[in-house]
Amino acid sequence: MGKYDEIVFDELKFIVTKDSESLTLNPLSFRLLLALAQGDGNIVSINSLLGAVWPQNNVSPETLKQRVFVLRKSLEQSTITGLTIQAVRGEGYRLLIEASSEKLPEISETEKPKKTSLNPTSLHNNKSFSAISGLALTMIALIIYMALPHSADKATNNNRIALWSNMPPAEMTESAKSVYTTWDHMLSQASETQVLQLVLSNQRPDLPLPIQARKDRVALISYFEVISVNNETTIKLNIVEPTTATILRSNMVMVSSNSSLTQILESQLDGIESLVSSGKLYLNKQQRDYANDPIWPELKALANSS
């Protein structure tokens, strides 16, 4: 029996169980963990994982890297232990599975510690002291809670937007660079009205997207992708929720089509402003980890509101 058999996968509810501890994952993380587990400790290639997690979509290894990060965080924050995802440079990933821990031997009656009897007066005093201490701690916790900003404030105040691209503007074709400059100018103008705040941030390949987004404190990423095929340049413009690397909206347009280009850029800007002003971009753990949470249709509707 392989170590893979120690993990139970519920493919209907996306629940993973090991050593009687369970974790509900979003579908992408679930499929990734399943594909890794089926490798039974062996390296699973990047192409195999891309095909298993996104069978009908063509995504990049960087997207896989970000999904591995999300899955690792879910496992770390769960009660499941003994699962480690190891990256193998240039080859892929493998899942290291620790065997179930053996039960501890039962303690005989002679080895059990003796119970200590308590004086009733001491017990009463201990209870009184515990009650007073508990009340004091509760009051301190309440004061701290009142002083701290709440999630709604964070959601309202975080209007920081980063503009990333798959290549430096200096390396773009003249037509693509012109579109990039126009889009950067539109975001900058919106930033001047304080509806959103365009921050200086460039994508770092050495950092997973969620980590860099947290370091830069950005609420959304406008990802400007230049695609050149047969001397024809196409722009793919995405609105990305950074803590999960989820694409909320995607538009593709030929740079030669000036009329539709202007309309798409304006519509993208409206979508970004709708998301920022909604106060819904501060996500809790449930919303980040569960792809079927109601927040995702709401965010995508806001991103595509015009």
Distance of CA 252 to the CA centre of its chain: 24
Name which residue leads in pLDDT, 106 or 22: 22
152-303: CATH topology is Rossmann fold (3.40.50)
- The fraction of the chain above a pLDDT of 70, given in percent, is 78
The Cα 71–Cα 16 span in angstroms is: 12
Same CATH topology for 3-97 and 152-303: the answer is: no
Q: Where are the domains of the chain?
A: 3-97, 152-303
Tens digits of per-residue pLDDT, 151-174?
333 334 578 899 999 888 888 888
The Cα 48–Cα 52 span in angstroms is: 6
Which of helix, strand or coil describes residue 225? strand
Mean pLDDT of 222-239: 87
| Of 25-34, 86-95, 96-105, 212-221, the least confident | 96-105
User: Residue 292: what residue type?
Assistant: N
Structure-token pair, residue 18: 């090991």
**Residue 150: predicted pLDDT:** 42
8 Å CB contact between 84 and 96 = yes
Number of other residues whose CB lies within 10 A of the CB of residue 29: 26
In order of 29, 33, 73, 141, 239, the CA distances from 97 in angstroms are 17, 11, 17, 39, 36
DSSP 94-130: EEEEPPPPPPPPPPPTTTSPPPPP--HHHHHHHHHHH
**Residue 199: predicted pLDDT:** 85
**Residue 220: predicted pLDDT:** 92
Mean pLDDT of 253-271: 80
Q: Which residues contact 147 (CB under 8 A, 6 or more apart)?
A: none
**Residue 20: predicted pLDDT:** 87
Q: Which option is the CATH number for 3-97: 1.20.1250.20, 1.10.10.10, 1.20.950.20, 1.10.420.10?
A: 1.10.10.10
Is residue 264 predicted with pLDDT exceeding 80? Answer: yes
